[in-house]
A and B are shown apart, each in its own frame.
Chain A
Amino acid sequence: MAAASSLDLLLQNAVLWRGNEQSRAATPGVASDFAALDEKLGGWPIGAVVELILQREGVGELSILLPALARLSGDERWIAFVNPPYIPYAPALAAAGVDIAKLVVVRAKTGQDALWAMEQSLRSGACSAALCWPRSVTEQAIRRLQLAAETGPALAVCFTVCGAAPRTSLSPYRLRVDAYARGTRVEILKRRGGAVNAPVHLENVVALPGFPAPVAGSVSAGRHVA
């Protein structure tokens, strides 16, 4: 009893730094519109590199970002896609509410040029978001991107396929994305304010025929079949 009350007392002290709270306040974020994810991340962070490590392609890795990109595309600035693995399909992106006039697709021939283009996009201040799909990425490259993301500032996402990501990384956010039976599973390996133990399960992330397109501003954890 005495122990509990001293803990209460401690928690009331403003000097006490609590990782979970702090993480949400420290980095400004743009709402992902997935309540479970927003609760853990405080939205997609602006001005910090987010590494999305994919177990495989087609698990909703882009779709979990689309509501945020839709919101950011309301801004004047560009959204850059650097070396996407396939054609970013304009009809699908438009259907998700993204203003495709803001999209800039960059195709660099070498990995070095791709990282350069990503860095320039982030640093220029001309992009609200920049996403890149490098074939492989080093710790040093992530550090450069992190510095550029802070300057922008922009939402910076680096997609790597599992195995191509560096073992350790200076990016403050590392998430592993995979599919599960009903949708997309996101494991938060690293975030500002400490790790999260349990993975986040997002249902029906991918906009399928017959399912309504995501509506920016909704707070549901995922979309359900009506």
Chain B
Amino acid sequence: MAVSAAYAAAPRILVRDRDIREEQRALEATALWALQFTSRVGLAPPTSLLLEIGCSLKLFGGLDALRARIREAAAQLGFDAVTAVAPTPRGAQWLARAGLDLAIEDTVSLHRHLSRLPLDMVEVEPDTLDSLDRMGIRTVGECLGLPRDGLARRFGQTLLDALDRALGKLPDPVSPFVPPVRFAASLVLPSPVTEVEALLFAAHRLILQMAGYLSARNAGVMRLKLALRGEDRGQTDAIVALSVPSRDPRHLVNLLRERLSSIAPPGRIESVALEALEITQLAPRNFSFFPDREQSHEERAALVEKLRARLGEDAVHGLSLYPDARPELAWREAEPGTATEPVLRLPRPTWLLARPRPLATRDGQPWLGGALALLDGPERIESGWWNGNDVQRDYFVARDACGATFWIYRERAQPGGWFLHGVFA
């Protein structure tokens, strides 16, 4: 149909130029996704993919279940897929191109169905098609009815070979699609968006592709990056780090949602690109005697990931002990779950101030909104002179008139003074 005719029929349509390169990119991205169904995927440009599914039937619960699953997954990816099944790759391709959602399992019915197809499904020169059309030959069947030697003489071997391959009379090897070493995929949005949910909708498609790619490699992603490109060419990267490798699209989308809601996107976003920065082989699932325990381990890892995705990597940490006499160095931040040996059972305040706070004094005695009574002390702590970070302090437990209890010290080095260092909460 001409563009002018289309406008006449529907004046409000939007006309876009066809982008062959973009189509090829989309086909390759879909091939990555299709690797989750079979390890043998072939490209049949411009719009078809060939999947060798003979070996996958058992795994996916039969032909009907597999086709339903492929259609459903393709719909999530934003494609309206026709799934045609045939004993030969070319036969399946022609049926699919003709829009026939069929499953044919034997060559006899394949012959019958292919015969009804119009000839323009066959990959031959346009001139050949024209000549056949003038002869009144418009279907594959009519063409097959013609004498073979006459066809070969007039149109060359190409036409005959194509027909024979489709019918399985000649071998038809499909060159397998080789997935790239790294996963990266991008998507240009139909119109610029600012809302997180709209970005996630686009990211979801890319994540599904990545999930297919990862599943073909029996791998999970540890770190992924979603690059948001704005209209003004600005770019913002959302990086998600996992503590346990995963390829579960729902989990990954949830993590991205938290991450995206915490960063300000640079204005209106035009395109998104997903990249797997780090992938790891998934260990085969252990059948544990303690399934609850294993599940709980996953829940714990998932919580830390979720919090980090929204609040930032540094916002979540665990605690560990460190053998140092200086109170501020007797603990360290650690990855949650890090076990440390208990060092000393010294009584210490439950809260430590990040920096000791200078205290006022009255008549040389420490003062915190009132006089402080010294309950216990001094506990002398002297350490660190060898690395310049030295500490010379006398610690006391002090209580104010209202009964609140504090950990304070007197600085022994010049210029001295009293400091608040902890709270017994």
Contacts and interface: CB of A to CB of B under 8 A. Distances in A.
A212 to B, nearest CB: 9
A55 B353 CA distance: 20
B254 to A, nearest CB: 11
A87 B302 CA distance: 24
B351 interface: yes
A36 interface: no
A176 B177 CA distance: 68
Name the residue among B310, B327, B377 with the largest chain A CB count within 10 angstroms: B310
Contacts of B102: none
Given A58-B423, A124-B302, A91 B348 contact: yes
B309 to A, nearest CB: 11
A124 B303 contact: yes
A46 B330 CA distance: 32
B347 interface: yes
Contacts of B405: 58-60, 179, 206, 208
A108 B311 CA distance: 6
Nearest to B406: A58
A107 interface: yes
Interface residues of A, number: 57
Nearest to B342: A94
B379 interface: yes
A96 B425 CA distance: 13
Interface residues of B, number: 57
B318 to A, nearest CB: 6
Interface in A83-122: 84-96, 100-109, 113, 116-117, 120-121
Nearest to B293: A76
Given A63-B350, A63-B425, A179-B402, A90 B320 contact: yes
Contact of B403 (A101, A121, A180, A210): A180
Contacts of A121: 303, 307
A126 interface: yes
A89 B345 contact: no
Contacts of B262: 113
B299 A125 contact: yes
Contact of A126 (B296, B348, B406): B296
Contacts of B403: 59, 178-181, 183
Interface string B287-317: 0000001001101101110110011001111
B299 A91 contact: no
Contacts of B331: 87, 89-91
Nearest to A121: B303
Contact of A86 (B315, B336, B353, B402): B353
Contact of B303 (A58, A100, A120): A120
B299 A126 contact: yes
Interface string B97-108: 000000000000
A77 interface: yes
B338 interface: yes
B319 A92 contact: no
B347 A87 contact: no
A73 to B, nearest CB: 12
Interface string A38-75: 00000000000000000111111111001000000000
Contacts of B423: 57-58, 86
Nearest to A92: B348
A210 B376 contact: yes
B194 to A, nearest CB: 20
Interface in B240-285: 262
Contacts of A161: none
Contact of B340 (A63, A100, A104): A100
A131 B317 CA distance: 15
A207 interface: yes
Interface string B395-425: 0010000111110000000000000001111
A109 B311 contact: yes
Contact of B317 (A62, A96, A105): A105
6 contacts: A57-B351, A59-B405, A86-B353, A101-B318, A107-B311, A124-B302
Given A94-B342, A94-B345, A95-B347, 12 more contacts: A58-B351, A59-B404, A87-B331, A91-B321, A91-B343, A101-B320, A101-B340, A102-B337, A105-B319, A107-B316, A117-B310, A120-B306
